[in-house]
Amino acid sequence: MEISSGVTSQIMDLKTSSPGVTRKEEIKTGFKNVDEYSKYLQDKYSYMNTGKTSMQGVPTTVVVSEAFLRKCKDDPEKAAFLEENLAAIPNCAKMAVNSCFGTLTNLQYKCDANGNLSVAISGTNDPDGKIARENAKRKVEEEKAAKAKLEKKRAEKKAEEEAAKESIEKRAEKQAENFSVTIIGTDLKTMTQQFTDKIGSGFSDMTVSFDAKA
């Protein structure tokens, strides 16, 4: 991309290919509708179809056609292709910023109805450094948000682990409870049956009195 004293743009078209599935996590398909599938993807890739965001401090948009989402939601191969490319976007943005001799002003990633990808990159030589300072400020904010998100996930995981541990301890305490049962009667067989029936109810202390003859 050639950067001049003004703002320039470059658009690169990448045709759909069928890369091997290299992602380790499960690629889910079979969603009830596009909205459900979109939510699933946005939970994993928060920058997809959410308007302008920021990557490496550069204003960035990521747009995936609803028509292509409809094709992907029930097609594992297309879904894998889409997720591989969505996952690659942050690193691609970093590469674009690091390889630019000027200052990037905008990044746009698109996936059309047929799964064709395009990348639009805009930039300037930024003689007074104003844009670079704005980008740097946004990048700091990105890093803070990412750190806060990571800390929140860690806190949630710790809370889940503590809750699970507490549940296990409570079950262990319950299993360790002593019990005392007194059964009075005249038929040992019936008395024993009464014991087995009652002990499963969780009573820790009970007295059963009855008179049953053989």
Per-residue pLDDT tens digits for 123-172:
888 877 788 888 888 889 988 888 888 888 888 888 888 888 887 777 76
pLDDT band at 100 (very low <50, low <70, confident <90, very high): confident
Q: Is the pTM of this model over 0.85?
A: no
Residues 109 and 185 in one domain: no
CA–CA distance, 195 with 139 (Å, rounded to integer): 70
Residues 111 and 61 in one domain: yes
Residues 100 and 193 in one domain: no
Residue 150 in any domain: the answer is no
Residues 13 and 65 in one domain: yes
Residue 73 in any domain: the answer is yes
Residue 68 in any domain: the answer is yes
Count of structural domains, the chain: 2
Last residue of a domain, which of 84, 109, 139?
139
At 202 the pLDDT is 54
At 180 the pLDDT is 67
Average pLDDT, the chain: 80
Is 9 a residue whose pLDDT tops 70?
no
Residue 170 in any domain: the answer is no
Residue 152 in any domain: the answer is no
Residue 168 in any domain: the answer is no
At 172 the pLDDT is 66
**DSSP state, 124?**
E
CA–CA distance, 110 with 97 (Å, rounded to integer): 18
Residues 113 and 195 in one domain: no
Residues 98 and 182 in one domain: no
**Own/partner long-range contacts of 71-77 (Cβ < 8 Å, ≥24 apart):** 71/115, 72/29, 72/37, 73/29, 73/30, 73/31, 73/33, 73/34, 73/37, 74/29, 74/30, 74/31, 75/29, 76/27, 76/29, 77/18
What tokens were used for 148? 């806060």
Residue 191 in any domain: the answer is yes
Last residue of a domain, which of 139, 169, 199?
139
With H, G, I as helix, E, B as strand and everything else as coil, classify residue 213. Answer: coil
What tokens were used for 51? 């308007």
**Please, are residues 79 and 72 in contact by the beta-carbon 8 Å criterion?**
yes
Q: Which domain holds residue 120?
A: 8-139
Residue 158 in any domain: the answer is no
Last residue of a domain, which of 90, 113, 139?
139
With H, G, I as helix, E, B as strand and everything else as coil, classify residue 53. Answer: strand
Residues 200 and 95 in one domain: no
